[in-house]
Structure 1
Amino acid sequence: MFGNLKKKIDEDYFKTEVTKIDDNDVSIAMDSQDKVDDKINNSGLLQKYSELAKLMYGMLKDYRRGVYSKVPWFTIATVAFSFLYILNPLDIIPDFIPGLGYIDDMAIFTFGLRFIESDLHNYLDWKIEEEA
């Protein structure tokens, strides 16, 4: 099972799926913040990403409001894809499978973080400067 998961969730899969994200998907991800937060906070595997998810939502909000534009579209699409994937209960490993259902969600979230880590740091630096 895990070998199959590794084959399905790789860099090519991730990049392909992220390139399919459009502005409407970003809106859906934004409108689903409470559901994503609930799912992250109520799953043992994803809880450690709670603060990062809040930061990512902050970046999406500031991007959508036009107050933060120093972010490439790929980063915005990566955040939206990660959140939409977490929301999908019937993804590669269905969420209702006890003990295993959130492994692919965690893999996608972690994979996304690898791609956008520097953009998140830049956003956090910008946010700190704005508040000062």
Structure 2
Amino acid sequence: MDKTKKIWEKAKKTASDKGQIKTTLSSAGKKLKNLAENSNELRELKSKLEILIRMTQSHLSGAYRSFSVSSIILIVFALLYFITPIDLIPDFIPALGFTDDASVIFLIAKKLNRDITKFLQWEEKKLGQTD
């Protein structure tokens, strides 16, 4: 079984287990902190990942529940792909290391564009209520 298929199966299992989702979020957060922000692509990757993490955290806490099961599985898949150490292009290779991770994150973010837009609007509205 190839990497993508293995991660997809793990994402389906993880998406229904709060403990595993929390572990995935923690691992993704740690790896995200280590990303250098020396290029526009890495800044954009970091931004997309931060949104996916916030979406998952809000869903997990029950604060925002407007995602379908398939959207949650896609988000978890993206995070698992990001944190899985076995890549087509190893992460330690400068400028190329996150290429496959970035491709998956951007592809899933594009697929979830409507969910992301609604979530960001919800976040903005929520922030406006606390001011």
The TM-score with structure 1 as length reference comes to: 0.73
| Distance (Å, rounded) in 2 between the aligned partners of 1:81 and 1:43 | 26
Query: Helix, strand or coil: the match of 1:74?
Result: helix
1:46 CA drift (Å):
2.6
Identical-residue share of aligned pairs (%) = 21
Query: Helix, strand or coil: the match of 2:89?
Result: coil
1:85·1:105 contact (CA, 8 Å) conserved in 2? yes
After TM superposition, list the pairs within 5 Å mapping 1:1-132 onto structure 2. Answer: 17-18=7-8, 20-21=10-11, 22=14, 23-24=16-17, 25-41=20-36, 44=39, 45-132=41-128
CA 1:66/1:40 → structure 2, altered by over 3 Å: closer, same or farther? same
| Distance (Å, rounded) in 2 between the aligned partners of 1:36 and 1:75 | 22
RMSD of Structure 2 on Structure 1 (CA): 2.7
The TM-score with structure 2 as length reference comes to: 0.73
| Distance (Å, rounded) in 1 between the aligned partners of 2:97 and 2:48 | 21
Q: Which moved more, 1:70-79 or 1:43-52?
A: 43-52
| Distance (Å, rounded) in 1 between the aligned partners of 2:64 and 2:9 | 21
* Greater relative contact order (CA < 8 Å, ≥ 6 in sequence): 1
| Distance (Å, rounded) in 2 between the aligned partners of 1:85 and 1:61 | 18
Q: How many residues align?
A: 121
Structure 1 unaligned spans of 5+: 1-7
